[in-house]
C-alpha cells in the first residue's frame, strides 16, 4: 500500500533538446487506479518506465510511499510490471505457477501457500490449484498469470498497454477483470494506454498527457464534462466532441449564417491575442434538432446519417452564405464534419438542411490563443 | 508504444516502416492501405521482405491451430502464450505465430532492425493481416519468421538426457546473447530460455533471440533497463528449470536457483570485461594489449579504444569501444568461407593450425593452407554425414564432434586413429543421439501448447467459450 508521487519530474533523452516528459507533477493516491492516456509519443510510457526504474530521471524525484526511489534499481522498488508475457509452466501446478517467484525469494512455504490461496480465491481459481495448465481454459490460464503478479503483493502495479497482445474477445473480458481485480486488491496502479475508451472505463482518475506535458487529471466524468483545454476535449469521448473556431460578434459566436449567444463572462475573458474568435465545442449528444423559430441555432447540411437503432447520428457541414463548406471532401473525413446525435425515429435525410441547437449548459468554450477552457 | 528516436545505425537501413508498403514487395492484391496500424485490412495482406509465391497457397482462412498436418514440419516448439507452428513453404520451413496485428507489425519491424545491426535473432519473413474465415469472421494476424536450421528449444535439449552441465552451458550462451543485445541498445523486456533457440557451438551453445514482442531498441540502455532484464532473466530461468524438475526432466543435482544466479554472475563479468574503464600509468601500455587479447579470447572484437589522460598526465584511462562478438568466426569466414558459430570456428582454426604444422607449411600464407585444408580435410569429412542426419547436425558441429571422438578413440587404443575410421565410429556410436524420439517430440509440443491463452482448440474443454465462462463472470464482479 503506497501512494506514488512524481515531483517535478523531467526526462530528456540523450541527443534531444526537448524533454519527453516535462516537469511532471502527479500524485497517485494509495490504492488508486490511475490511467495515463495520450497519443503515441506523448511520454506516457516514458513516465511509467521512470516509475519502474527503466528510465533515468533527469530532474525531479519519484516517491513510492514516502520513499525516494529516483535512483533505486527496478528490483528494489517493490513494483510489479503486470502481464509482461508471463509464461505458464506445463509441469507445474497452478499453485506452483503462481507461487514460484516467492519460493525464489525465500518466502516460507506456509506463507507462499497462504498467499497463493488468497489470490486463487480472488481469481476464482481455488478448485484448480492442483491442476496443470493443460487442464485449464484460456481465460483461466490468463488468470493464473495475473495470480503470479498478485501473490508478490507489490506496492504498485504497472501496466503498459497490457491488452495490446490479446485478441479482441479476450481484450474486452480482461479489461473488466483487471479493473475489478484492482478494486478488490486495492493496490496502487498506474495503467498506460493510448485508448481513451480503456481510460474512461477503467480508471478511478485519468491523466491526459500530450508531448510530455500533463494536460489534465481528473475522474472520467470530470474530463468528459469539463475538459480543461481543446486537446483533452478532442481526445476524450467517442464519437469525439465537435470543435471549431468562430468569430465573436456582439457577444455571439458566428456559426455559418447564424449566431448563438455566448455567456458574457466568457466573452469578457477573451484577450486581444484571441483576435475576436472563440473555440466552440459540444458533444454529439448535447445538441438537438431545432425548429425554424428557435434562436441560438445554426444550419447544417446533412451529408450522412446513421441509424443504430437506439441512437441516430447525423453528419453534416455548417451552412455559410447558403452553401455548405467542403462538399467535395466530405465523405473522406467524417471526423471534420459536425456530428449530432438525434432520435433515430426522426432521422433527417441526406441533403436536408436542418437547424441545430446546442444545450447552452453543455457548451465547451476555449480561447483560441491558449486553447484553455473559458467557461 | 512510443518510438523515441531512431538509432543512427538504422538510417542506413532500407525502409522498416510496416505502413510504408512501398518499401516492400506487397504480395497480395490487398485491400485499402489502412492509415492506422490498428485498423485491420479488409482483404488478406502479406507484407514481406522477400517474395515466396508459395505463401499464397496456404490456408490463411483457417485458424493456425487447425492447419493440416501435411503442411507442418514436425519440429520441437518452445512454450508460448500464442499458437505457433512450423510450416513448410516450398523448400523453406517458416515459424508462424498468431498474434494481434499491432503486435505482429511491431515485432516484425523490430526483428528487421535487429537483422540490420547483425545480432543473433531469427529472420523475419512476413506479416499477414486481414485474415478472415470463409464465413467472414476475422482471424488474428500472423508473424512469419524463418525457422533457424539446426536450432533447438531448451526443452528439446533437456529431453535427451544430455550432460549434467547442460543447464550451465545454456545459461552461458544466454548471458552472451543478453550482453550482445544490451551492447547494441536492445532492451528485451522478456528474457527467458523459452524466448531463445539454441545452436550447438562445439562444446557450448550459442543462443539466438526468437521473441522480440516486448523489446525496444535505444541508442544506449540505462542501468535500470539492463538490471531489469537481468532480474527477469533470473526469475524466468529458475521458473523454467523448476518446471523441468517438476516434470522429472532435470538431473537431480542441478540447483535451479544457483543456475539462475549464474546468469547474473556471467552477465556482469562479461559486461564489465567489455565496458569497464581501466586506468594505467603511461609505462604500462602493454596492459592495453593484454586487455584486447582477453576480449578476443572471450570472442569479442575490439574495433576502437577510447583513451583519455588524467589532468596531471599520470594515468591513461582506456575503454574498449565498438566491441562485437565473433572474433574467431569472422577469421574463419575470411579464410574458408565457412560461416559457423564462434567455438566451432575456434576448433576448426585449431585443426587448421595443426594441419599446417603437420604438413610443414608454417611459412606459407594461411589463406592458401586453408584452401587445401578445406579440400583435403574438412570437406571429405562432412561429406560422410549420412543423408538422414543432414537436417539435424551442422557440418561444422559434426566435424568438431568427430575430432573429439577421434581423440577419445586414440586415447583408448594408445595411438593415432585415421580420420575415416573416427568418422565411421562416430556415426555408428554417437550420432544417433541427435534423433528426437517421436514420442518425446509429441510430449514437447503438447507442453508447448498448454500455456496458450488465446486459442480455443488447445483448451481441455472443446466447448469452451470465454464469453460463457461462468467463473470468469463470477470473479469479475
Same domain, A36 and A182: yes
Q: Do A40 and B2 touch (CB under 8 A)?
A: yes
Q: Above 50 in pLDDT, residue B81?
A: yes
Last residue of a domain, one of A234, A250, A279: A234
| CB environment A238-256: b (16+ within 10 A), e (fewer) | ebbbbbeebebeeebbbbb
Q: Above 80 in pLDDT, residue B163?
A: no
**In which band, very low, low, confident or very high, does the pLDDT at B146 lie, cut at 50, 70 and 90?**
very high
Convert the pLDDT of each residue in B286-337 to its tens digit: 777 788 788 777 777 776 777 777 777 777 777 776 556 778 888 898 899 8
> What is chain B's percent helix, strand, coil content, to nearest 5?
45, 15, 40
Minimum distance, in Å, between the CA of residue B199 and any CA atom of chain A: 22
| Contact criterion met (CB below 8 Å) for A159 and A182 | no
- Most A CBs within 10 A among B451, B456, B461, hence the mutation to make, goes to B451
pLDDT value at position A331? 43
Cα A336 to its chain centre, rounded Å, is 22
Convert the pLDDT of each residue in B82-140 to its tens digit: 899 999 998 889 999 999 998 999 999 999 999 998 889 999 999 999 999 999 888 99
Beta strands A188-193; A33-37: pairing state: parallel
Helix, strand or coil, per DSSP, at residue B285: coil
Give domain status of residue A375, yes or no.
no
Q: How far apart are CA A302 and CA A306, in angstroms?
A: 11
Residues in a beta bridge with B169: none
**In which band, very low, low, confident or very high, does the pLDDT at B198 lie, cut at 50, 70 and 90?**
very high
Q: Do A136 and B459 touch (CB under 8 A)?
A: yes
pLDDT value at position B321? 64
* pLDDT tens digits in sequence order for chain A, 375 residues long: 699 999 999 999 888 889 999 999 999 999 999 999 999 889 999 999 999 999 999 999 999 998 999 999 998 999 988 765 778 899 999 999 999 989 998 999 999 999 999 999 988 999 999 999 989 988 888 889 889 888 988 999 999 988 887 777 778 888 888 888 899 889 999 999 999 999 999 999 999 999 999 999 999 999 999 999 999 999 999 889 999 999 999 999 999 989 999 999 999 999 999 999 999 999 999 999 998 888 899 999 999 999 998 899 999 999 887 776 654 444 444 567 899 999 998 899 999 999 999 999 999 999 999 999 999
Which grid cell is A361?
449548459
**In which band, very low, low, confident or very high, does the pLDDT at B160 lie, cut at 50, 70 and 90?**
low
Measured between beta carbons, the chain B residues lying within 8 angstroms of A180 are 475-477
Q: How far apart are CA A332 and CA A314, in angstroms?
A: 16
Same domain, A219 and A292: no
Same domain, A188 and A269: no
Measured between beta carbons, the chain B residues lying within 8 angstroms of A139 are 466, 469, 472
pTM: 0.81
Q: How far apart are CA A198 and CA A83, in angstroms?
A: 16
Give domain status of residue A373, yes or no.
no
Measured between beta carbons, the chain B residues lying within 8 angstroms of A53 are 224, 227-228
Same domain, A181 and A45: yes
Give domain status of residue A87, yes or no.
yes
Q: How far apart are CA A63 and CA A77, in angstroms?
A: 10
| Contact criterion met (CB below 8 Å) for A57 and B207 | no
Question: How many domains is chain A built from?
Answer: 2
Q: How far apart are CA B453 and CA B467, in angstroms?
A: 14
| Residue A141: closest C-alpha in chain B | B453
Give domain status of residue A374, yes or no.
no
Is the Cα torsion angle B149, B155, B161, B166 positive or negative in sign?
positive
pLDDT value at position B34? 35
pLDDT value at position B324? 67
Convert the pLDDT of each residue in A64-109 to its tens digit: 998 999 999 998 999 988 765 778 899 999 999 999 989 998 999 9
Identify the CATH homologous superfamily for domain B150-275: Transferase(Phosphotransferase) domain 1 (1.10.510.10)
Convert the pLDDT of each residue in B11-20 to its tens digit: 443 333 333 3
B443-471: average pLDDT:
61
Measured between beta carbons, the chain B residues lying within 8 angstroms of A181 are 476
Give domain status of residue A372, yes or no.
no
Q: Do B214 and A164 touch (CB under 8 A)?
A: no
Q: How far apart are CA B399 and CA B347, in angstroms?
A: 9
Residue A195 CA: distances (Å) to CA of A51, A142, A201 = 21, 21, 10
pLDDT value at position B185? 93
ipTM, two decimals: 0.82
| Residue B1: closest C-alpha in chain A | A40
| Contact criterion met (CB below 8 Å) for B71 and B147 | no
pLDDT value at position A99? 94
Q: Which residues contact B25 (CB under 8 A, 6 or more apart)?
A: B48, B49, B50, B51
| CB environment B330-360: b (16+ within 10 A), e (fewer) | ebbeebbebebbbbbbbbbbebbeebbeeee
Q: How far apart are CA A153 and CA B112, in angstroms?
A: 38
B64-72: average pLDDT:
93
pLDDT value at position B326? 79
Residues in a beta bridge with A80: A157
Q: Do A137 and B231 touch (CB under 8 A)?
A: no
- In this complex, the residue of A75, A91, A166 whose CB is nearest that of residue B243 is A91
Q: How far apart are CA A190 and CA A309, in angstroms?
A: 37
Beta strands A188-193; A156-160: pairing state: parallel
Give start and end residues of each alpha helix (H) in A39-188: 44-52, 94-104, 109-122, 138-150, 168-185
* Neighbour-count burial of A33, counting CB atoms closer than 10 A to its CB (0-12 exposed, 13-18 middle, 19+ buried): buried
Measured between beta carbons, the chain A residues lying within 8 angstroms of B131 are none
Number of residue pairs across A and B with CB atoms under 8 Å? 183
Same domain, A63 and A176: yes
Give domain status of residue A12, yes or no.
yes
Last residue of a domain, one of A184, A212, A234: A234
pLDDT value at position A166? 78
| Contact criterion met (CB below 8 Å) for B121 and B111 | yes
Which of B255, B251, B133, B115 minimizes the C-alpha distance to B186? B115
Last residue of a domain, one of A171, A206, A234: A234
Q: How far apart are CA A187 and CA A127, in angstroms?
A: 25
| Residue A56: closest C-alpha in chain B | B222
pLDDT value at position B460? 44
Measured between beta carbons, the chain B residues lying within 8 angstroms of A38 are none
Q: Above 70 in pLDDT, residue B33?
A: no
| Contact criterion met (CB below 8 Å) for B258 and B284 | no
- Most B CBs within 10 A among A57, A121, A167, hence the mutation to make, goes to A167
Residue A258: count of CB within 10 angstroms of its CB: 19
pLDDT value at position B177? 93
pLDDT value at position A224? 96
pLDDT value at position B442? 86
Three-point CA angle B237, B243, B249, nearest 5°? 105
Q: Do B4 and A85 touch (CB under 8 A)?
A: no
Measured between beta carbons, the chain A residues lying within 8 angstroms of B236 are 87
Which grid cell is A303?
451529408
Measured between beta carbons, the chain B residues lying within 8 angstroms of A166 are 100, 453-454
| Residue B192: closest C-alpha in chain A | A87
Tell me the CATH number at A339.
2.40.50.140
Same domain, A36 and A122: yes
Cis peptide before A239 (omega within 30 of 0): yes
pLDDT value at position B39? 60
> What is chain A's percent helix, strand, coil content, to nearest 5?
30, 30, 35
Same domain, A246 and A340: yes
| Residue B256: closest C-alpha in chain A | A104
pLDDT value at position A164? 82
DSSP state of B379: H
| Contact criterion met (CB below 8 Å) for B78 and B153 | yes
pLDDT value at position B157? 84
| Contact criterion met (CB below 8 Å) for B1 and A161 | yes
Same domain, A145 and A55: yes
Helix, strand or coil, per DSSP, at residue B194: coil
DSSP state of B436: P
Most confident of A361-370, B248-257, B390-399: A361-370
Same domain, A41 and A118: yes
DSSP string, B92-145: EEEEEEEE-HHHHHHHHHHHHHHHHTT-SBPPEEEEEE--B-TTS-B--EEEEE
Same domain, A268 and A190: no
**Element of type H or E holding B421:** helix B419-429
Q: Do A104 and B257 touch (CB under 8 A)?
A: yes
| Contact criterion met (CB below 8 Å) for B144 and B251 | no
Which residue segment(s) compose the domain that A210 sits in?
4-234
Residues in a beta bridge with A28: A4
| Contact criterion met (CB below 8 Å) for B265 and B237 | no
Give start and end residues of each alpha helix (H) in B308-365: 327-336, 342-358
pLDDT value at position B19? 37
Which of A299, A286, A303, A281 minimizes the C-alpha distance to A374? A281
Same domain, A254 and A219: no
Q: Do A177 and B476 touch (CB under 8 A)?
A: yes
- In this complex, the residue of B223, B235, B451 whose CB is nearest that of residue A101 is B235
- Most A CBs within 10 A among B466, B470, B477, hence the mutation to make, goes to B466
Q: How far apart are CA A204 and CA A32, in angstroms?
A: 6
What Rg do the C-alpha atoms of chain B give, in angstroms? 25
Same domain, A101 and A209: yes
Tell me the CATH number at A100.
3.40.50.300
Which grid cell is B35?
492509415
Convert the pLDDT of each residue in B406-435 to its tens digit: 999 999 999 889 999 999 999 999 998 888
Q: Which residues contact B234 (CB under 8 A, 6 or more apart)?
A: B260, B261, B263, B264
User: For residues A108, A109, A115 and A121, what is the CA-based torsion angle, rounded to 10 degrees?
Assistant: -170
DSSP state of B456: G
Residue A235 CA: distances (Å) to CA of A38, A39, B300 = 8, 9, 50
Percent of chain B with pLDDT over 90: 42
pLDDT value at position B14? 36
- In this complex, the residue of B140, B446, B472 whose CB is nearest that of residue A167 is B140
Amino acid at each position: 500500500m503506497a501512494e506514488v508521487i512524481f515531483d517535478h519530474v523531467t526526462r530528456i533523452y540523450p541527443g534531444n533538446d526537448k524533454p519527453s516528459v516535462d516537469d511532471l507533477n502527479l500524485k497517485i493516491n494509495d490504492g488508486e487506479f490511475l490511467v495515463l492516456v495520450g497519443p503515441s509519443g506523448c511520454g506516457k510510457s516514458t513516465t511509467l518506465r521512470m516509475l519502474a526504474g527503466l528510465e533515468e530521471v533527469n530532474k525531479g524525484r519519484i516517491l513510492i510511499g514516502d520513499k525516494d526511489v529516483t535512483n533505486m534499481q527496478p528490483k528494489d522498488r517493490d513494483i510489479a510490471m503486470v502481464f509482461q508475457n508471463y509464461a505458464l509452466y506445463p509441469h507445474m501446478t497452478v499453485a506452483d505457477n503462481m507461487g514460484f517467484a516467492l519460493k525464489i525469494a525465500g518466502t516460507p512455504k506456509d506463507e507462499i501457500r497462504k498467499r497463493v490461496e488468497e489470490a486463487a480465491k480472488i481469481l476464482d481459481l481455488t478448485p484448480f490449484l492442483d491442476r496443470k495448465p493443460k487442464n485449464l481454459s484460456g481465460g483461466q490460464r490468463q488468470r493464473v498469470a495475473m495470480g503470479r503478479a498478485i501473490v508478490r503483493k507489490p506496492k504498485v502495479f504497472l501496466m503498459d498497454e497490457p491488452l495490446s497482445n490479446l485478441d479482441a474477445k479476450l481484450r474486452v473480458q480482461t479489461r473488466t477483470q483487471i479493473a475489478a481485480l484492482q478494486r478488490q486488491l486495492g493496490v496502487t496502479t498506474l495503467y498506460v494506454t493510448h485508448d481513451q475508451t480503456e481510460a474512461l472505463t477503467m480508471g478511478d482518475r485519468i491523466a491526459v498527457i500530450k508531448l510530455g506535458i500533463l494536460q489534465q487529471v481528473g475522474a472520467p466524468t470530470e474530463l468528459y464534462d469539463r475538459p480543461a483545454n481543446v486537446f483533452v476535449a478532442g481526445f476524450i469521448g467517442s464519437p469525439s466532441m465537435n470543435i471549431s473556431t468562430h468569430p465573436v460578434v456582439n457577444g455571439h459566436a458566428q456559426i455559418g449564417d447564424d449566431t448563438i449567444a455566448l455567456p458574457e463572462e466568457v466573452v469578457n475573458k477573451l484577450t486581444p491575442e484571441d483576435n475576436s474568435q472563440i473555440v466552440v465545442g459540444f458533444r454529439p449528444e448535447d445538441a438537438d434538432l431545432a425548429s425554424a423559430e428557435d434562436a441560438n441555432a445554426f444550419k447544417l447540411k446533412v451529408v450522412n446519417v446513421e441509424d443504430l437503432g437506439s441512437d441516430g447520428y447525423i453528419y453534416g457541414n455548417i451552412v455559410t452564405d447558403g452553401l455548405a463548406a467542403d462538399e467535395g471532401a466530405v465523405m473522406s473525413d467524417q471526423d471534420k464534419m459536425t456530428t449530432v446525435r438525434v432520435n433515430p425515429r426522426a432521422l433527417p435525410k441526406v441533403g436536408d438542411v436542418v437547424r441545430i441547437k446546442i444545450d447552452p449548459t453543455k457548451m465547451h468554450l476555449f480561447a483560441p490563443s491558449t486553447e484553455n477552457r473559458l467557461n | 508504444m512510443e518510438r523515441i528516436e531512431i538509432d543512427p545505425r538504422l538510417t542506413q537501413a532500407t525502409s522498416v516502416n510496416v505502413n510504408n508498403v512501398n518499401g516492400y514487395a506487397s504480395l497480395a492484391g490487398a485491400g485499402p492501405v489502412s492509415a492506422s496500424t490498428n485498423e485491420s485490412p479488409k482483404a488478406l495482406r502479406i507484407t514481406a521482405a522477400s517474395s515466396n509465391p508459395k505463401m499464397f497457397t496456404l490456408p490463411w482462412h483457417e485458424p493456425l491451430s487447425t492447419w493440416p498436418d501435411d503442411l507442418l514440419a514436425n519440429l520441437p516448439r518452445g512454450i508460448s502464450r500464442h499458437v505457433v507452428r512450423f510450416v513448410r513453404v516450398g523448400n523453406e520451413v517458416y515459424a508462424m505465430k498468431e498474434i494481434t496485428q499491432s503486435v505482429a507489425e511491431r515485432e516484425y519491424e523490430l526483428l528487421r532492425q535487429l537483422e540490420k545491426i547483425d545480432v543473433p535473432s531469427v529472420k523475419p519473413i512476413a506479416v499477414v493481416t486481414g485474415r478472415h474465415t470463409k464465413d467472414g469472421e476475422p482471424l488474428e494476424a500472423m508473424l512469419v519468421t524463418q525457422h533457424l536450421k539446426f536450432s533447438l528449444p531448451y526443452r528439446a535439449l533437456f529431453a535427451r538426457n544430455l550432460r549434467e552441465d547442460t543447464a550451465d552451458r545454456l545459461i552461458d550462451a544466454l548471458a552472451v546473447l543478453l550482453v550482445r543485445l544490451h551492447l547494441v541498445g536492445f532492451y528485451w523486456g522478456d528474457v527467458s530460455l523459452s524466448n531463445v533457440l539454441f545452436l550447438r557451438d562445439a562444446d557450448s551453445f550459442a543462443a539466438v533471440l526468437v521473441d522480440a514482442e516486448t523489446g525496444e531498441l535505444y541508442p544506449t540502455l540505462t542501468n535500470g533497463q539492463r538490471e531489469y532484464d537481468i532480474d527477469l532473466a533470473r526469475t524466468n530461468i529458475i521458473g523454467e528449470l523448476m518446471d523441468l524438475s517438476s516434470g522429472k526432466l532435470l538431473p537431480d543435482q542441478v540447483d535451479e536457483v544457483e543456475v539462475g544466479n549464474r546468469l547474473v554472475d556471467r552477465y556482469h563479468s562479461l559486461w564489465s570485461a567489455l565496458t569497464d574503464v581501466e586506468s594505467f600509468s603511461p609505462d604500462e601500455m602493454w596492459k592495453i594489449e593484454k586487455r584486447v587479447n582477453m576480449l578476443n579470447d572471450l570472442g569479442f572484437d575490439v574495433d576502437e579504444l577510447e583513451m583519455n589522460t588524467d589532468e596531471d598526465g599520470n594515468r591513461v584511462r582506456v575503454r574498449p569501444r565498438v566491441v562485437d562478438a565473433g572474433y574467431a568466426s569472422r577469421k574463419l569466414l575470411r579464410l574458408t568461407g565457412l560461416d559457423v558459430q564462434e567455438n566451432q570456428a575456434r576448433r576448426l582454426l585449431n585443426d587448421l593450425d595443426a594441419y599446417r604444422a603437420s604438413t610443414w607449411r608454417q611459412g606459407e600464407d594461411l589463406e592458401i593452407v586453408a584452401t587445401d585444408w578445406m579440400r583435403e580435410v574438412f570437406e571429405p569429412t562432412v561429406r560422410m554425414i549420412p543423408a538422414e542426419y543432414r537436417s539435424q547436425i551442422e557440418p561444422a558441429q559434426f566435424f568438431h564432434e568427430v575430432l573429439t571422438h577421434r581423440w577419445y578413440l586414440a586415447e583408448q587404443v594408445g595411438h593415432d586413429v585415421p580420420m575415416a575410421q573416427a568418422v565411421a565410429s562416430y556415426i555408428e556410436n554417437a550420432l544417433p543421439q541427435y534423433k528426437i524420439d517421436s514420442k518425446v517430440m509429441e510430449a514437447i509440443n503438447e507442453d508447448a501448447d498448454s500455456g496458450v491463452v488465446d486459442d480455443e482448440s488447445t483448451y481441455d474443454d472443446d466447448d469452451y467459450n470465454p464469453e460463457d465462462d461462468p467463473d470468469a463472470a463470477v470473479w469479475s464482479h
